[in-house]
Amino acid sequence: MSSDLILRVGTKLILPFILLFAIYVQLHGDYGPGGGFQAGVIVAAVVILIAITFGHNAAKRVAPRGLVECMVPMGVLIFAGTGVAGFFLGGNYLDYSVLSHDPIHGHHLGIFLVEIGVAVTVSGTMVALFYAFVERGR
């Protein structure tokens, strides 16, 4: 835990904006720069910033270790599950056209789901790696 008042207050001020930017990068990736990978890393950066400023236990309250470790395979499952969904709806694996009544909508939905999957795996992995390193060092 950092005893620097400016650091702690500054971190508290900046955290919501970083999180908002991550959500923007995630959801606006279809129209602007960004996507699941970048958003996942930014979300992980939020947790790491909390851990650096407020200590490891504060970060674990925000993102419990069990949740983070579940997120690592969860994202791959979401991604692969989107592919399997196309499979069952009459298309090929990872064919987004059949996900909705309209092919364009289906592609939007497919890209959205796949990006969510990437973000979940990437943020989970980054935070889990950070936890593994920090706990190893004790």
Partner 1 sequence: METVINMALLTLLAVVTVAMVVQRSLLSVVILASIYSFLMASVMIVLDAVDVALTEASVGAAVSTVLLLATLHLTKTREDMPRHGRALPLLLSLAVGGMLVWGTLVLPPFGTANAPIHQHVAPRYINDVMAETGVPNIVTAVLADYRSFDTLGETTVIFIAGIGVMLLLGGLRRQSSEEGAPEDPS
Residue type, 5: L
Q: Give yes or no for residue 46 binding partner 1 (CB under 8 A).
A: no
Per the listing, tokens 């620097």 go with 4
Q: 138: burial class by Cβ within 10 Å (0-12, 13-18, 19+)?
A: exposed
Can you state the angle between helices 5-27 and 103-136, rounded to 10 degrees? Answer: 150
Binding mask 67-86 for partner 1 (x = CB under 8 A): --x--xx-xx--xx--x---
Question: Measured from the CB of residue 129, what is the shortest distance to partner 1 in angstroms?
Answer: 6
Q: In angstroms, rounded to a whole number, what is the distance separating the alpha carbons of residues 137 and 80?
A: 35
CA atoms within 13 A on the CB side of 138: 6
Q: Give yes or no for residue 96 binding partner 1 (CB under 8 A).
A: yes
Among the candidate windows 7-15, 55-63, 127-135, which touches partner 1 by CB under 8 A? 127-135
Count residues binding partner 1 (CB under 8 A): 52
Binding site for partner 1 (CB under 8 A): 25, 29-38, 41-42, 44-45, 48, 52, 69, 72-73, 75-76, 79-80, 83, 94, 96, 103-104, 107-108, 110-111, 114-115, 117-118, 121-122, 124-126, 128-137
